[in-house]
């Protein structure tokens, strides 16, 4: 178990290059199961989850070659239509192979993802959609046993907006017989990136990025060449770092149009953000203003930026109200931020953050991916040294975080931890 030791309190200045989006790469890698031939995907981040997805595909019989930041994949000899518990428990996004397996091979055995730190995160809507498309779904000893002679088009309404649910069904519908309509679909940029990849494979998809997506099934898809979009959450995280350190950070290789809701809130908090030739430049204020936020599906304020924004607000002038509407347990960073002197309380899905002038470095524990990012933001805005334990959570979504921070002038080092 590694830990990160960060010395905070400096105004950071410099440039950072944004990596490809984990949450776009994972569904696009799963989509390669839909077609024969050699697929080439670039700008794939060098992260543990990518390797887990690669192991999953290899376990099924696919060839998966990855070297930063390119994957070459061939799913010609799939012989094992199973996503085993050992892999799914490591990464719930493994469920994204369910739709492609059913669509191309007519059968799938996928371990039900357990809950995770931030919530129960069921996949009932994924299964509801596949059943509407004619799949037989049974649950047996923690596995989804699914089969379908050939999936057929259907009208599917999502009671709750689900990102991977939309992605799973968009992939399944690409090879179904007839037209599928996804209603109340997720509009995230990662969904659009997957739709663009599927279209490049020959799928017929209209409306990706909107709430209603129409997919006309085809009989066969062709191999893919695709470049993954940059990671909007990493982009936002570095903007929050500029905000809390009063720094001046040029963020290169990002897509500002993917972070509009977050940008509006950062500007209200007092940051100056201007677009540059290949990204943005974020300049933080001496002290941020308090700003209220409420998370929502895209294009609303992203839940994956809530924890980082809370860290920024912990030093704001005034009190901010933060409401988390997507996951039922996404405030685990609050207790850790309080150890650093933040004045935060929460009841149910609403947190009250009373800004303090100073945060103090402390020993803190990462509990999930974005909570760990919020602890990095807070550590950079705190006086003294912060040690972030269980930093493997951070490594799931941020490639080479200490190298990027060092480039910005941060005094940061990684150490092996003797304890868990
Ligand atoms: C995706 O998770 C992302 N992961 C998450 O990012 C992100 O936080 C989340 O979308 C919301 O934006 C990937 O893309 C790999 P959902 P996903 O299905 O698809 C409920 C990160 O930090 N729901 O959109 O699993 C669910 O419980 C990760 O990178 C059902 O009830 O999220 C939640 O309350 C964390 N039934 C809400 O919908 C279902 O069948 C949104 O979940 C599916 C979802």
**Which residue, 211, 204, 213, 199, is CA-closest to 176?**
204
Atom number in ligand 1 closest to CA 121: 27
Copy the structure tokens of residue 202: 């020959």
Q: How many CB atoms sit inside 10 A of residue 326's CB?
A: 19
Structural contact between residues 31 and 404, judged by C-beta atoms closer than 8 angstroms: no
Q: Tell me: do 178 and 253 sit in the same domain.
A: no
Which of 227, 260, 294 terminates a domain? The answer is 227
Q: Tell me: do 12 and 47 sit in the same domain.
A: no
Mark whether 254 is an active-site residue: no
Q: Tell me: do 392 and 247 sit in the same domain.
A: yes
Q: How far is it, in rounded angstroms, from Cα 243 to Cα 263?
A: 11
Q: Tell me: do 290 and 304 sit in the same domain.
A: yes
Q: How many CB atoms sit inside 10 A of residue 358's CB?
A: 12
In the sheet where 411-416 sits, what is the strand order?
363-365, 385-389, 2-7, 411-416
Q: Tell me: do 7 and 63 sit in the same domain.
A: no
Query: pTM to 2 decimals?
Result: 0.97
Which residue's CA is minimally distant from atom 4 of ligand 1?
23
- pLDDT tens-place string over residues 378-404: 999 999 999 999 999 999 999 999 999
Q: Tell me: do 195 and 241 sit in the same domain.
A: no
- pLDDT tens-place string over residues 234-250: 999 999 999 999 999 99
Range of the domain at 84: 22-227
Low-confidence stretches of the chain (pLDDT beneath 70): 419-420
Of 99, 160, 170, 324, the residue with max ligand 1 atoms within 8 A of its CB, to mutate for a pocket test, comes to 160
| Rg (the chain; Cα; Å) | 21
Which residue's CA is minimally distant from atom 25 of ligand 1?
164
Task: Give all strands (DSSP E) within 225-380, no chain letters.
Answer: 225-227, 248-252, 272-276, 279-283, 293-294, 319-323, 343-347, 350-354, 359-360, 363-365
Which of 227, 247, 264 terminates a domain? The answer is 227
Q: How far is it, in rounded angstroms, from Cα 265 to Cα 226?
A: 32
Which residue's CA is minimally distant from atom 27 of ligand 1?
121
**Ligand 1 centre distance from Cα of residue 17 (Å):** 26
Q: Tell me: do 107 and 243 sit in the same domain.
A: no
Which of 227, 249, 275 terminates a domain? The answer is 227
Q: How far is it, in rounded angstroms, from Cα 260 to Cα 307?
A: 17
Return all residues near 67 (Cβ < 8 A) that are at least 6 apart.
none
Atom number in ligand 1 closest to CA 188: 12
Q: Tell me: do 211 and 239 sit in the same domain.
A: no
Instruction: Say if strands 350-354 and 343-347 run parallel, antiparallel, or are unpaired.
Output: antiparallel
CATH (domain of 169): 3.65.10.10
Task: Output phi, psi for 274, to 5 deg.
Answer: -120, 145
Atom number in ligand 1 closest to CA 397: 29
Q: How far is it, in rounded angstroms, from Cα 234 to Cα 415?
A: 23
Q: Tell me: do 264 and 390 sit in the same domain.
A: yes
Q: Is 313 left (phi over 0), alpha (psi -120 to 50) or beta?
A: alpha
Selecting among 72, 112, 116, 218, the annotated active-site residue is 116
Q: How far is it, in rounded angstroms, from Cα 182 to Cα 76?
A: 29
Q: How far is it, in rounded angstroms, from Cα 260 to Cα 251?
A: 15
Q: Tell me: do 97 and 217 sit in the same domain.
A: yes
DSSP state of 61: T
| Torsion angle of the four alpha carbons 52, 58, 63, 69, in this order, in degrees rounded to the nearest 10 | 0
Q: Tell me: do 154 and 263 sit in the same domain.
A: no
**Ligand 1 centre distance from Cα of residue 299 (Å):** 15
Which residue's CA is minimally distant from atom 14 of ligand 1?
23
DSSP state of 357: S
Copy the structure tokens of residue 164: 């991977």
Atom number in ligand 1 closest to CA 116: 35
Of 91, 163, 168, 187, the residue with max ligand 1 atoms within 8 A of its CB, to mutate for a pocket test, comes to 163
Which residues lie with the beta carbon below 6 Å from any ligand 1 atom? 23, 26, 93, 119, 121-126, 160, 162-165, 190, 303-304, 326-327, 369-370, 397
Q: Tell me: do 263 and 115 sit in the same domain.
A: no
The pLDDT of residue 420: 60
Q: Which residues pair with 289 in a beta bridge?
A: 317
Which residue's CA is minimally distant from atom 41 of ligand 1?
162
Please count the structural domains in the chain.
2
Q: How far is it, in rounded angstroms, from Cα 106 to Cα 393?
A: 35
The pLDDT of residue 114: 76
Q: How far is it, in rounded angstroms, from Cα 189 to Cα 207?
A: 12
- CA-CA distances (angstroms) from residue 27 to 166, 190, 250, 336? 11, 8, 29, 32
């Amino acid at each position: 178990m590694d830990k990160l030791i960060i010395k905070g309190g400096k105004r950071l200045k410099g440039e950072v290059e944004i990596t490809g989006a984990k949450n776009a790469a994972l569904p696009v890698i799963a989509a390669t199961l839909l077609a024969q031939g050699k697929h080439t995907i670039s700008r794939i981040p060098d992260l543990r989850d990518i390797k887990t997805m690669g192991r999953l595909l290899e376990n099924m019989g696919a060839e998966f070659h990855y070297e930063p930041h390119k994957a070459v994949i061939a799913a010609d000899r799939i012989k094992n239509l199973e996503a085993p518990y050992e892999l799914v428990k490591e990464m719930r996004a493994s469920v994204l192979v369910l739709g492609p397996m059913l669509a191309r091979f007519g059968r799938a055995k996928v371990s039900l993802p357990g809950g995770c730190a931030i919530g129960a995160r069921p996949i009932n809507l994924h299964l509801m959609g596949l059943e509407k498309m004619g799949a037989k779904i049974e649950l047996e000893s923690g596995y989804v046993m699914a089969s379908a002679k050939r999936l057929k088009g259907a009208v599917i309404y999502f009671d709750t907006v689900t990102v991977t649910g939309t992605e799973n069904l968009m992939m399944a519908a690409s090879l179904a017989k007839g037209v599928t309509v996804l209603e109340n679909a997720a509009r995230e940029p990662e969904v659009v990136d997957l739709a663009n990849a599927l279209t490049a494979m020959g799928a017929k998809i209209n409306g990706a990025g909107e709430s209603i997506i129409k997919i006309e099934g085809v009989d066969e898809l062709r191999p893919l060449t695709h470049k993954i979009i940059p990671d909007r959450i990493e982009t936002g995280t570095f903007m929050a770092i500029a905000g809390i350190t009063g720094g001046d950070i040029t963020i290169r290789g990002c897509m500002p149009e993917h972070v509009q809701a977050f940008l509006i809130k950062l500007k209200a908090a007092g940051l100056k953000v201007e677009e540059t030739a290949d990204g943005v430049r974020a300049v933080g204020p001496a002290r941020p203003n308090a700003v209220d936020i409420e998370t929502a599906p895209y294009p609303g304020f992203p839940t994956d930026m809530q924890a980082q924004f809370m860290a920024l607000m912990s030093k704001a002038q005034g009190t901010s109200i933060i409401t988390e509407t997507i996951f039922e347990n996404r405030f685990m960073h609050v207790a850790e931020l309080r150890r650093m002197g933040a004045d935060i309380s929460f009841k149910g899905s609403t947190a009250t953050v009373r800004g303090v002038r100073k945060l103090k470095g402390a020993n803190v524990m990462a509990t999930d991916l974005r909570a760990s990012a919020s602890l990095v933001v807070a550590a950079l805005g705190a006086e003294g040294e912060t040690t972030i334990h269980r930093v493997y959570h951070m490594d799931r979504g941020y490639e080479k975080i200490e190298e990027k921070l060092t480039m910005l002038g941060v005094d940061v080092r990684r150490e092996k931890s003797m304890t868990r």
